[in-house]
């Protein structure tokens, strides 16, 4: 039985120690899952090429035992990573929190991340399990953007009523829905991994 690998990818102006990322890493590691939350470079002025290079050095080529969780800018970064670096790779699953795949008003400085359209059909074909989570009162990435992303990726959409942008300063230091979905995914995966 192969143990899954989980990668937690932060967003704009964030770091691995922010928000609910340390909590999720701890939960996953307690379940026996090898977990990493890479520090992506210059998160206050991110460049797509640098972020993809950083993921390349940490994640490498994903496989059926690779699981990806992205938050905000981390979501489109992961989609670009799969599309541009490993378009043929089959990946276990992906959970996108407050994700978007198009220009978001107020975030024009991130236009490079959405310049190349995502090959949605390739993601649907190659990423076996997918989910998108949004907060219905998110003022940074409005829930409509995440809903459209879920539709594009044929992924179940989970709308939470009142969690803002899922930031630590908004009181979101745990996100049980992500952990619950990951446990479901792992138990249903071809590898049949049952978390401890």
What residues are annotated to the active site?
Answer: 72, 138, 165
**Alpha carbons 186 and 30: distance in angstroms, whole number:** 14
**Alpha carbons 81 and 87: distance in angstroms, whole number:** 9
Q: Coil, helix or strand for 130?
A: strand
Helix (H) or strand (E) holding 93: strand 91-97
Q: Are 8 and 24 in contact (CB under 8 A)?
A: yes
Phi, psi of 132 (to 5 degrees): -125, 135
Contacts by 120-125 with C-beta closer than 8 Å and gap 24+?
120/152, 120/153, 120/154, 122/82, 122/83, 122/87, 123/79, 123/82, 123/83, 123/153, 124/153, 124/154
Q: Are 31 and 39 in contact (CB under 8 A)?
A: no
Q: Are 94 and 68 in contact (CB under 8 A)?
A: yes
């Amino acid at each position: 039985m192969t143990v899954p690998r989980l990668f937690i990818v932060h967003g704009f102006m964030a770091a691995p120690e922010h928000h609910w990322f340390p909590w999720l890493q701890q939960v996953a590691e307690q379940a026996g899952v090898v977990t990493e939350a890479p520090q992506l470079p210059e998160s206050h002025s991110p460049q797509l090429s640098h972020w993809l290079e950083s993921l390349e050095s940490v994640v490498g080529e994903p496989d059926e035992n690779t699981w990806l969780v992205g938050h905000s800018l981390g979501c489109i970064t992961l989609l670009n990573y799969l599309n541009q670096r490993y378009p043929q790779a089959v990946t276990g699953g992906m959970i996108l929190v407050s994700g978007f795949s198009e220009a978001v008003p107020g975030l024009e400085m991130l236009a490079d991340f959405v310049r190349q359209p995502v090959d949605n059909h390739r993601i649907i074909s190659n990423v076996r399990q997918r989910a998108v989570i949004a907060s219905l009162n998110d003022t940074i990435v409005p829930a409509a953007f995440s809903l459209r992303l879920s539709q594009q990726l044929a992924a179940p959409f989970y709308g939470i009523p009142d969690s803002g942008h899922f930031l630590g300063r908004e009181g979101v230091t745990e996100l049980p829905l992500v952990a619950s979905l990951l446990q479901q995914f792992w138990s249903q995966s071809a590898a049949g991994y049952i978390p401890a």
